[in-house]
Each structure stands twice: as C-alpha cells, then as structure tokens.
Amino acid sequence: MDFASFLIQTLNSLQYGLLLFLVASGLTLVFGIMGIINLAHGSFYMVGAYLAFVLSSATGSLVMAIVLGIPLALVFGAILEWALFSHLYKRDHLEQVLLTYGLILIFEQLRSLLVGDDVHGVAIPAFLDASIQLTEVMSYPVYRLAISAVCVALAVALYYVIQRTRLGMMIRAGNDDRSMVESLGINIDMIYRVVFALGVALAALAGMLAAPISSVFPNMGSHVLIISFVIVVIGGIGSVWGALVAALIVGFADTFGKVLIPELSGIVVYVVMAVVLLWRPEGILKKG
Amino acid sequence: MNAHASLLPKLIAVAIIACVPLSGESFYIEIVGKVLVMAIFAMSLDLLVGFTGLVSFGHAAYFGIAAYAVALLSPQYDAASLWVVLPASIALSALAAFVVGLFVLRTKGIYFIMVTLAFAQMAYFIFHDTPLGGGSDGMYLDNKPSAAIFGWEPFELTNEVHLFYFILAMMVLVYLFLARLLQSPFGRVLVGIKSNEHRMQSLGYFTFRYKLGAFTLAGALGGLAGFLYAVLFGFVTPELLSWHESGNVLLMVILGGMGNLAGAVAGAFAFEAMREIFADITKYWQLLMGGVIVAVVLFLPGGLAGVPGRIKRALQGGEAK
C-alpha cells in the first residue's frame, strides 16, 4: 500500500468512524441514562436518510433538507419518547428489545408504504461536489471531508453541552443516579425526553449526511444498528467518549479490514469487539 | 409443578397435530412442520431466557450453523446417512455455542444481550461473505439424508409425511427431555441462577459451569431445529443466522410466556399463525406484526401464557395486574 492510498483509507476510516459516532452517541446516552436497549435506533438513521431524499427532492438542496430535517427528527424523537419509550423505563431489557424490534418492523413497512422499496440517490450539494487531487490517478472527495468536519464540530459541541452546561450536568447526574437527581427537584422526565430526542436527531443527521455516499435503500438502518451496538459495547455503556474512541477503532478496523482481508472484512469488527471484551468486560471506558 | 394435571391438554394437542398429514395437503404439512421446527427452536431458547435468565439475542447462529452443516456435509449426488449428519450437525452447533459461551458468559445484562448478538453477526458474515456456503445466495441440500441402517430403511425423509412425523417425534422428545432436565439437580441449579446467582455461588455452585452447560445444550437443541429446517426446505441461506431470526424466536418465547416449555411451543404456533394470517390479509403484514408486538409488550406482560390467569383474576373481581 503506497502512501496516497494509505492516506485515502485513513481519511475514509475517520469519516466512517465519526459518522458512526453520531449514531452511537445517542444510543449510548439512551442506554446509560435511561437503561433502555433501543433496537429501533438504526431506524432513526434510516428515517434521516429518507428525509434527506424526500426533502432534497422537494427543495432541491441537501443543505435545506438537513435544516428542515433536524427539527422534524427532534419532534419525532420527543413524540416517540412520550408515547412509547417513557413506558419502558421500569420494564426489563427483554421487553425493551421486543417493543423496539416491533418498531423496526413498523418503521420499515411505513417506509415501504410511503417511499417504496427502490434504491434512491441523493445529490451532493454543488459547492461540495469536488475532489482534491492527491496523485495523478488518486483524488479525495471534498464531501467526505465535509462530513468529517461536521462530525468533529458536533463532537466538540456535544462535549461542551455535556461537560460545561447545566443541562449536561443534569444529564451526567441522571446517568449516575436517577432517584438522587429526582429528589433534588430536577424534572428527570424532561431530561429523558431531551436526551432521547437529541439521540434521534443525531442518528437522523448521520443518515442525512451519509445519504449521498451510500444512497438510500430498504433496511439500511439494520447494519448501522448492529455496528453501533458493537461501538457502545466496546466503548462502555453510557460513555460518550468511550463511544468516540470505539467508533474510531471500528471505523479503522472496518475500512482497513476491507482493503487488507476483503473476504473476512465482515467479521473483523466483531473480532475486535471480542478481544476488547476479553481485556475489559465492561468496555474501554466505564460509564461516566 | 403439577405436570400430570396438565398432561391431558398436551396429549390432545399432539394428537391433533398428528392428524395434519391426514389432510393430504402438502401446504399444511409443510407449514405445520415448520411450526414444529420453530417450536423446538423456541424451547431451546427458553432454556436460556426463561429458565436460566440469560437473554441471548444471537440464538439463530446455532440454528444456522447446523442447517449449513447438513448442506455442507451432504455429498452432491448422494444422500448422506441421517445417523451421521444429524449428530454431526448438532455437535457443530454445540461446539460453536460452547466456544461462544466461554466469551459471552463473562458478561451480564445488557452486555450479554449485545455480545451474543455480535457473535451471531460474526457467524452470519462468515456465511454471507465467504464462498464456504455459497455466499449470500446460500446453498441447496440436493439430497435429504437417508435413514438407512445397514440397508434397512425404517422411514424416508424424502417422504413428506414421514418427515412430518419425524419432526413431530423430535419435538415431543425435546419437550420431554427438557421437562425432565428441569426437574433434575442440574435444572434446579439453572432456575436458582435465574432467581439469584450470588446465592447459588455462595451455596458453593460454580455457576459459570452450569451456565456454560445450559448455553451449550441450548445451542445443540437449536442446532437440531436448524438441521430439521434444512431437511424440510432443502436449502439454506445466511438469513437463517440473521438477527431478525434471533428476534423472531425471542418473540415466540415471550409470546408464550417465558419459563414455560409448553408456552414456547404455543408461542411458536401463535407467531407463525400471525405471520401467515397477516400475510394473507395484506402485503403490509409487518405493520400488523409490529403493532401486535408493541401492543403485547405494553398491555400483556407475561405473554399469552399469562392470559388465562388474568381472565381468572378479572372474573374473581381482583385487579388484573
């Protein structure tokens, strides 16, 4: 592997890992704070991608689609939390698995009813539709760099919100001890709703950003869901920073796995997970 | 457990199922055969989820491994011997479960659910991405195994009625085996682990060994179901190992009410019946299925098996909770 292709794969790994971080961060927060296994989290990614397709077809611009799509995703998340997930907090994991599994079926079928089962492409915004020439034959698309930049900006913003704001303080406290937070007079139900809606919006945004690269297609959420689970487990449930580290590990393992051992690329990520769990059964970073 | 009191309804149920081939309709024979296979699969998972308290979300892996084993072990132009491929397929699933169990049983709770899922995905991708079993297309089982012993053939699996009764017999055997096992000291320890693992440890039990034993056995019985599935349908695809299958079988166990072997069988019947009926009504059957699942979780904790108790309590005027 020469330097230029190494560079390209490294950039791809970063971009993929950072995108997965957007999905996994919401998943790990919902796990850590509310103790909920949400199998439908991958569907939010799918919903985001289809929103990008539908809205960008309607408005003619992916940027407009994202601007309109994020508030929609937030509202969608808040409604779901209110209608369904708020009933699950005290149930056991098995029932959470089931209910959210049922939701996947519903979301996929609704998607099929509303948009159909065809694969659709989404156009890259014109101002990002360019490539940087690396060598005579190899170039790197600007759009992928833009995705990485957006993800880094969001990770920084998330760090700021969680570590430096009052809301973040309440989220962290809720992560540690729900009843203590409640007894201090903080409306934990509202915190839950905000965190859940935020997680939905992050996953949907990941789907919107990925839409031009991967196209939109049926069941696109399910692969992302499973990979995000792996990331959450590797990173340690409830740990946003663990999820970031784990997402990057997974991004690199998957991308380089595809290049170096294409036949076994599917299992590389799971082998990494097994090794990490043998080393640290509770993930790289513990909840906190 | 008052096993004898509830024996009669079970016998009647088996007798009714045994009459299905009399209809002479291949469609019904195959569909009920499939349900019976799924019932074995659901019972094997119930051993983990309902009795030992281990929520495995990757049980389809052991189903699929045995199904692929039959297809791979059968020669292309000749029938393999049932008495070789059946134990071999089950042994492979058991071995896989044993190895995976060594890893996953170190974890608990949410981690356990997700790690079992991840290992199942690993198995899925091995069959999906490598040419070993025909890649994503899967492969055909061209010749069903032969039951011949030294030239004498007691039954033929190529005959749909013989195959049906073979599957039914297997299901009854698995039921009796598990019911007996759960009465044994080993089964008692498993139930004890479910209610309080620390207590069992302080009583001096090496709970890890018992859990590993249960995990391996569940894998083996799941393998038996996978073997029968491959023989029944004559082809295998990676989708047999997919997490949707793991989800479906979990659903059967829950529908039937966990920790209830007959319930697991009933759950398998209910699940497949719903799937058939909904698919008959509309091509958007997943919407109805999803709705039913959500409704069961929200309004029927305890599954179908909890329904008679709820009705009884409601009639007695108590709170139906």
pLDDT for position B317:
62
Average pLDDT, chain A: 88
Domain ranges of chain A: 3-220
d(CA B144, CA B114): 35
Strand partners, B236: B139
Is residue B321, in this structure, part of any structural domain at all? no
Among the partner-chain residues A35, A98, A278, the one whose CB lies closest to the CB of B251 is: A98
pLDDT for position A139:
82
Among the listed residues B46, B86, B48, the one whose alpha carbon sits nearest the alpha carbon of residue B66: B86
DSSP string, A183-211: HTT--HHHHHHHHHHHHHHHHHHHHHHHH
Among the partner-chain residues A99, A233, A264, the one whose CB lies closest to the CB of B294 is: A99
Is residue B106, in this structure, part of any structural domain at all? yes
pLDDT for position B306:
66
Q: How many Å separate Cα B306 from the centre of its chain? A: 21
Q: Could you tell me which residue, A164 or A94, shows the higher pLDDT?
A: A164
d(CA A23, CA A41): 8
CA–CA distances in Å: residue A117 to residues A2, A51, A73, A216, B239: 40, 15, 22, 10, 19
pLDDT for position B111:
82
Task: Write the single-letter amino acid at B162.
Answer: H
pLDDT for position B302:
62
Residue A77: CB atoms within 10 A of its CB come to 26
Q: What is the ipTM of this complex?
A: 0.79
pLDDT digits (tens, 9 = 90+) for B8-35: 888 888 888 888 888 878 888 999 999 9
Q: Does A99 touch chain B (CB under 8 A)?
A: yes
Average pLDDT, chain B: 87
Handedness of CA A61, A67, A69, A70 (dihedral sign): positive
Q: What residues in A contact B291, CB-CB < 8 Å?
A: 102, 106
d(CA A253, CA A13): 8
d(CA A50, CA A55): 8
Which run of H or E residues covers position A131? strand A131-133
Among the partner-chain residues A97, A266, A270, the one whose CB lies closest to the CB of B113 is: A97
Burial A239-249 (b: 16+ CB within 10 A, else e): bbbbbbbbbbb
d(CA A46, CA A217): 8
Structure tokens given for B37: 């296979």
Structure tokens given for B104: 């996953």
Q: What residues in A contact B57, CB-CB < 8 Å?
A: 97
Q: Does A273 touch chain B (CB under 8 A)?
A: yes
Structure tokens given for B210: 């018992």
Long-range contacts of B95-100 (CB under 8 A, 24+ apart): B96/B61, B96/B62, B96/B65, B96/B123, B96/B219, B97/B62, B97/B215, B97/B216, B97/B218, B97/B219, B97/B220, B97/B222, B98/B212, B98/B215, B98/B216, B98/B219, B100/B58, B100/B61, B100/B215, B100/B219
Among the partner-chain residues A95, A102, A233, the one whose CB lies closest to the CB of B290 is: A102
Strand partners, B235: B140
Q: Does A165 touch chain B (CB under 8 A)?
A: no
Give the distance from residue A254's alpha carbon to the nearest chain B alpha carbon, in angstroms: 13
Is residue B314, in this structure, part of any structural domain at all? no
Q: Could you tell me which residue, B208 or B78, shows the higher pLDDT?
A: B208
Burial A29-59 (b: 16+ CB within 10 A, else e): bbbbbbbbbbbbbbbbbbbbbbbbbbbbeee
pLDDT for position A5:
85
Q: How many Å separate Cα A249 from the centre of its chain? A: 15
pLDDT digits (tens, 9 = 90+) for A142-152: 999 999 999 99
CA–CA distances in Å: residue A183 to residues A29, A93, A239, B296: 21, 25, 24, 33
Q: Could you tell me which residue, B259 or A16, shows the higher pLDDT?
A: A16
Strand partners, A216: A120
Q: What residues in A contact B247, CB-CB < 8 Å?
A: 39, 97, 101
Q: Does B274 touch chain A (CB under 8 A)?
A: no
pLDDT digits (tens, 9 = 90+) for B213-258: 999 999 999 999 999 999 999 999 999 999 889 989 998 998 888 8
**Poorest-pLDDT segment among B137-141, B164-168, B181-185:** B137-141
Cβ within 8 Å, pair A266-B296:
no
* Coil vs helix vs strand at B153: coil
Residue A125: CB atoms within 10 A of its CB come to 17
Is residue B167, in this structure, part of any structural domain at all? yes
Among the partner-chain residues A99, A106, A270, the one whose CB lies closest to the CB of B287 is: A106
Could you give phi then psi for residue B10, rounded to 5 degrees?
-65, -45
User: Closest residue of B to A107, CA-based?
Assistant: B287
**Poorest-pLDDT segment among A38-42, A175-179, B154-158:** A175-179
pLDDT of B123 strictly over 70: yes
Q: What residues in B contact A230, CB-CB < 8 Å?
A: 114, 118
Domain count, chain B: 1
Q: Could you tell me which residue, A260 or B61, shows the higher pLDDT?
A: B61
- Residues 6+ positions from B63 with CB-CB distance below 8 Å: B41, B93, B222, B223, B225, B226, B229, B240, B241, B245, B249
d(CA B321, CA A116): 42
Cβ within 8 Å, pair B293-A270:
no
Count Cα neighbours of A39 within 13 Å in the Cβ-side half-sphere: 28
Cβ within 8 Å, pair A84-B106:
no
d(CA A225, CA A79): 21
Cβ within 8 Å, pair A91-B301:
yes
Q: Are A35 and A232 in contact (CB under 8 A)?
A: no
pLDDT for position B1:
46
Is residue B290, in this structure, part of any structural domain at all? no
Is residue B60, in this structure, part of any structural domain at all? yes
Q: What residues in A contact B119, CB-CB < 8 Å?
A: 270, 274
pLDDT of B319 strictly over 50: no
Q: What does the angle CA A223 – CA A50 – CA A149 come to, to the nearest 5 degrees?
A: 75
pLDDT digits (tens, 9 = 90+) for B94-122: 999 999 999 889 888 878 888 898 889 88
pLDDT for position B218:
97
Q: Give the residue numbers spanning the domain of B190.
A: 7-242
pLDDT of B62 strictly over 90: yes
Structure tokens given for A50: 């289809």
pLDDT for position B303:
62
User: Residues 104 to 163 of A: which have CB under 8 A from any B CB?
Assistant: 104-106, 108-110, 112-113
CA Rg value for chain A: 19
* Coil vs helix vs strand at B235: strand
d(CA A44, CA A55): 16
